[in-house]
Amino acid sequence: MKFDLKGSFTFSDNILSIKEEMGKFISDFNENLLKGDAEKRAEIESFKIEKKSLFFNIVSHGSFRPHNALLQIKNSISKELGKKHHIGVREIKIDSYEIEFDLEKKPLKEVDIPFAEVKLEGKKATMALTNVDEEFLRRNYIDRMINRVKEKVDNQYYEGKGEYWKSIWESEEKEPVWSKDPTEEMVKLDWLKQGPTKGKWFYRPQAAAILKTMEEIAIKEVLQPLGFQEIIESQIVPFDIWLKTGHLEGMPSEFYYVVEPATRDVEKWEKFVDLTKITKEVDFNELQKNLSVPTAGICYAQCPMIYWSFKGKTISEESLPIFVYDKTAVSGRYESGGRHGIERVDEFHRIEPVYIGTREQLLSLREKLIERYKHVFNDIFDIEWRMAWVTPWYMQQAGKIGATGEQDCGTIDFEAYMPYRGDRKKSEWLEFQNLSILGDKYVKSFNIKSQKSELWSGCSGIGLERWTTAFLAQKGLDPDEWPAGFKRYLKELPKGIEFL
């Protein structure tokens, strides 16, 4: 790595008269800095004095950042020369800042980032920053910019590569009752109605009964036996929560954003009301005038808000492990081209258990959760399904999760065979839920502590629409054909409403 910073200090007064003293100060400063180990070495390579200004050039080849030296130099100058000569640094200016660093892989194409011009040559990257102010340096953007360039180059190698997938367990093959798409058939029967906007559904009594049964089974067969306690969270997630979890940088194109009115002042809304009454249409231009910019989004997954609720808390040893779940917040995701039936929708109902505890507590919980889930999918649903290790984007990028076999941290996907999609070997199976242990990633970002134990956390996303389609795709819509275990929970459907 090489850092090359050209900048200047503007003093409160002319400093030509103390040129020599300034020279001595700089060589002393260099001496002191140079005394550090080679890794930390930096040097003021040249300087020039013009009236009130001191121009200089700081170069570092190691881990020491010249911009961090700036404030140090400023402080030393005021200590050593300031009082004696009644001068002070009024302004710090950086004219150019060039940072050269090595990349692990040779970039496949150009990379752009904000605040700098990036040049790539072989495995070498150069970032040229211009017009950098003190605030910019203080905020530690530089290191994040270096990381972002490295990450973008790494991503060029991931592109087009599927998620890592490794089978852990498979049920035996099961003969499906039919091979139709359950959503289409339920629509034909009027159990379900396509919602008023993209990727939303209206569940009439029959479909609602099935979805609600899934919820009941999840709670009674999985969560309650393991001691999970229900919590109720807010549906609207402010950006600062997603900044901490990484969702805001991870999936900004999938959120449903929430805006607040800019005002409740009736007078300000009067024109909009007039226009609505007269035209019976929505005047979006007028509406926009009274709306704020979004500062939040609709729940994407329930866990971020649960972690937020523990932010900064120290949990007593007796309360560990914490097992809680939310089943109230509805998830919103802009799925765009991927939408299909009720299995890939923009609005869905999930139960999300979250667990916080020691590594041992969570590894043991994972075994128990898997056991309970197996019981549901084998003994109650009687479906053909499998489990696989997968590595989601954020773990892959953080390089935190090894891609080999048994592991402490990581995500297990649960997938079901969907007969309507074709051959069980060739068709894509449906991920109907997952289970993750994420190490200390979230407890660290939300500063959640215990009295003495090191904490880990994890979550499991139980998608009720996904459970429903996985079950119906194999077992059909006729309750008589459903397995006995499921019939214990739902043996007949509500009569529903007849349309003429």
Per CB under 5 A, residues contacting Zn ion are 301, 303, 459
Least Å from the CB of residue 445 to ligand ATP? 18
Query: Taking CB within 5 to 8 Å according to partner kind, which of Zn ion, ligand ATP, none is near residue 65?
Result: none
Complex with ligand ATP: residue 273 or 330, whichever CB lies closer: 330
Complex with Zn ion: residue 303 or 380, whichever CB lies closer: 303
Q: How many residues does the chain have?
A: 500
Least Å from the CB of residue 317 to ligand ATP? 31
Least Å from the CB of residue 326 to ligand ATP? 13
CB atoms within 10 A of CB 181: 19
d(C-alpha 179, C-alpha 475), whole Å:
9
Complex with ligand ATP: residue 87 or 418, whichever CB lies closer: 418
Least Å from the CB of residue 215 to Zn ion? 17
Least Å from the CB of residue 414 to ligand ATP? 7
**Residue in this structure with the two tokens 């866990």, named with its chain if needed:** 303
Query: Taking CB within 5 to 8 Å according to partner kind, which of Zn ion, ligand ATP, none is near residue 348?
Result: ligand ATP
The answer to whether residues 40 and 129 touch, using CB atoms and an 8 Å cutoff, is no
Least Å from the CB of residue 358 to ligand ATP? 24
The contacts of residue 382 (CB under 8 Å, 6+ apart) are: 174, 475, 483, 485, 486
Complex with ligand ATP: residue 4 or 343, whichever CB lies closer: 343
Amino acid, res. 12: S
Residues making contact with ligand ATP (CB under 6 A):
301, 333, 335, 344-345, 348, 350, 431-434, 461, 463, 465-466
| Residue 416, beta-bridge partner list | 385, 430
Least Å from the CB of residue 468 to ligand ATP? 10
Complex with Zn ion: residue 207 or 303, whichever CB lies closer: 303
The residues annotated as belonging to the active site are 303, 333, 335, 344, 352, 413, 431, 434, 459, 466
Query: Taking CB within 5 to 8 Å according to partner kind, which of Zn ion, ligand ATP, none is near residue 459?
Result: Zn ion
Query: Taking CB within 5 to 8 Å according to partner kind, which of Zn ion, ligand ATP, none is near residue 185?
Result: none
Least Å from the CB of residue 466 to ligand ATP? 4
d(C-alpha 128, C-alpha 116), whole Å:
5
* Angle of CA points 443, 448, 449, to nearest 5°: 115
Complex with Zn ion: residue 66 or 461, whichever CB lies closer: 461
d(C-alpha 221, C-alpha 225), whole Å:
6
**Residue in this structure with the two tokens 């919980």, named with its chain if needed:** 365
Q: Are strands 322-326 and 229-231 parallel, antiparallel or unpaired?
A: parallel
The candidate with the shortest Cα–Cα distance to 411, out of 425, 398, 396, 397, is 396
Query: Taking CB within 5 to 8 Å according to partner kind, which of Zn ion, ligand ATP, none is near residue 299?
Result: none
Complex with ligand ATP: residue 410 or 463, whichever CB lies closer: 463
Q: Which residue is nearest to ligand ATP (CB)?
A: 463
What is the 3 state secondary structure string of 24-51?
Answer: HHHHHHHHHHHHCCHHHCEEEEEEEEEC
d(C-alpha 107, C-alpha 254), whole Å:
28
Complex with Zn ion: residue 351 or 493, whichever CB lies closer: 351
CB atoms within 10 A of CB 182: 27
The answer to whether residues 65 and 146 touch, using CB atoms and an 8 Å cutoff, is no
Amino acid, res. 171: S
Query: Taking CB within 5 to 8 Å according to partner kind, which of ligand ATP, Zn ion, none is near residue 303?
Result: Zn ion
d(C-alpha 52, C-alpha 10), whole Å:
6
Which strand (E) or helix (H) includes residue 449?
A: strand 449-450
The candidate with the shortest Cα–Cα distance to 44, out of 82, 73, 71, is 73
Residue burial 429-454, b: 16+ Cβ < 10 Å; e: rest: bbbbbbbbbbbebbbebbebbbeebe
Query: Taking CB within 5 to 8 Å according to partner kind, which of Zn ion, ligand ATP, none is near residue 441?
Result: none
